[in-house]
Structure 1
Amino acid sequence: MNFASHLDAHGFVIVPNVLDASARHALAALLGDANGAGSRGMLRVREVAELAQSLLADLVSPYLAFNPVPVRGIYFDKRPETNWLVAWHQDLTLALKEQTEMTGFGPWSVKEGVPHVQPPMMLLEQMLAVRLHLDDTDAGNGALRVLPGTHRLGRLSAEAIQGCRETREEVLCEAKAGDVLLMRPLLLHASSRSSSPRRRRVLHIEYAGFELPAPLEWHEAPCQSCDSL
């Protein structure tokens, strides 16, 4: 498969065997159980930051115009006691240190005490998410579902999202442990509740291929003095 052309056309691509079993088991042991559905602020964990700035950054680099900067890390842990579904949506916001009014940025919101903002569309188009699978993932344990090509449609209204659901065929992103899903944030995606006792652990890292205009600053990255779990 030509990963670049598939990512460009469909908005996602699965890269197999990125993390070997030994490294994967060590990472899973380090992360343990997520807080509820997911643990945020993962780039403040030294080992996650190192992975995000080395192996995963090298993986992302060919698909961004400038050097990739990891800007947000979330650890998702779908298991019987923390099971959830996610409706069809696009990832439209950036997590920043503080709210500063700036032309083209807005509306603002606050999630778990962190300011979030919708940036200009051209910035969202220069981002890429990495979803590193720590478990085999399929329909049974809530694999991600996507609507290919919708990353090319811009910011979508609720009505437009419903129209895409009715006219486009969804794809289930089945992956093996150690595989990585690369995904554009504007791609419509969703996930179902797990119907299996198997866990679905995913380390989600978002990368930006641009610098924020001053005085805006990322909430989470880059990490200068990381903690360990």
Structure 2
Amino acid sequence: MRGTKDLLEEYWRRGHCRVRSFFSKRDLEDLRAEADCLLEESPERGGARNALLRSETLRNLSASSPLAELASQALGAPARAVKLTVFDKNPAANWKVPFHQDLTITVRERKEVEGFGPWSVKGGVVNVQPPVSVLEALVALRLHLDDTGSDNGALRVIDGSHRLGRLGGLELSELVAASTVEICTAEAGDVLLMSPLLVHASSPAASPTRRRVLHFEYTARNLPGGLDWN
């Protein structure tokens, strides 16, 4: 594996980087079983939201595994997981996601704080768009439970777009039209570090085999105005 310093420099520069073979095949067997349990219980096709609240196994993994250490190194301070979504692109749930940024966080309850909004509730959990400074203090770690190639829905990203802040609809469209898109392939056990502000998309799989991903979000900061991470 490449040195951590080189990987983090790549992440800061490009808004994403791939850490190969971060988890062993033995670890993955247990994690796939846990992910499948959450997916079976989820009312949503192809995904399970708020998995930190629903799985003690994954909650413990987020806190005590090398994932937390990697996130802390990326953020430059001790980090904790504040959100986990389980994704499963498969023949029955083979969706397209257009280019976007991840602009929403989940909080324990709604409190009117300057710069936070609009608000929504999904699956009984309060969601809100925070100021850009909060998003800049987040890092996503996508743990791949299956191989992810260009033919089964790998992420497509625009390098360096995380440095542009929050983009409006027209700005986003113009950026996509003028940019070269990179495909982020991965093997089972790899981790993809990604800034929430990185412009990214996902195409339907041409060969829709399973593509399970544990999408953790970490931060090293607290929220203002009495807001609490969910």
TM-score, with length taken from structure 1? 0.92
- Contact 2:101–2:197, Cα closer than 8 Å, also in 1: yes
Q: AA paired with 2:46?
A: A
State the Cα deviation string for residues 153-177 of structure 1 (Å, max 9, x = none): 0100111111111111111000000
Could you tell me which residue of structure 1 aligns to residue 70 of structure 2?
59
- Structure 1 191/108 Cα, relative in aligned 2: closer, same or farther at 3 Å? same
Q: AA paired with 1:51?
A: L
Worse-matched range after superposition: 101-110 or 175-184: 101-110
2:25 to 15, 21, 40: 21
Matched, 1:11 2:11: no
Could you tell me which residue of structure 1 aligns to residue 50 of structure 2?
41
Q: AA paired with 2:228?
A: E
Could you tell me which residue of structure 2 aligns to residue 201 of structure 1?
212
Could you tell me which residue of structure 2 aligns to residue 227 of structure 1?
none
CA–CA distance in structure 2, aligned partners of residues 171 and 76 of structure 1? 20
- Contact 1:126–1:209, Cα closer than 8 Å, also in 2: yes
Could you tell me which residue of structure 2 aligns to residue 78 of structure 1?
89
- Contact 1:65–1:126, Cα closer than 8 Å, also in 2: no
2:60 to 16, 30, 50: 50
- Contact 2:94–2:208, Cα closer than 8 Å, also in 1: no
CA–CA distance in structure 1, aligned partners of residues 122 and 100 of structure 2? 17
- Contact 1:17–1:179, Cα closer than 8 Å, also in 2: yes
Q: AA paired with 2:23?
A: L
- Contact 1:108–1:118, Cα closer than 8 Å, also in 2: yes
- Contact 2:113–2:225, Cα closer than 8 Å, also in 1: no
Does the residue aligned with 1:53 lie in a helix, a strand or coil?
Answer: helix
RMSD (Å), alpha carbons: 1.2
State the Cα deviation string for residues 22-81 of structure 1 (Å, max 9, x = none): 000111012216231200121121110111112210121111132111001110011101
Structure 1: which 5+ residue stretches go unaligned? 220-229
2:123 to 112, 118, 128: 112
CA–CA distance in structure 1, aligned partners of residues 23 and 198 of structure 2? 24
- Contact 1:129–1:207, Cα closer than 8 Å, also in 2: yes
| Number of residue equivalences | 219
Could you tell me which residue of structure 1 aligns to residue 200 of structure 2?
189
Worse-matched range after superposition: 60-69 or 165-174: 60-69
Matched, 1:163 2:167: no
In the TM superposition, residue 108 of structure 1 has moved relative to its aligned partner by 1.6
Q: AA paired with 2:102?
A: D
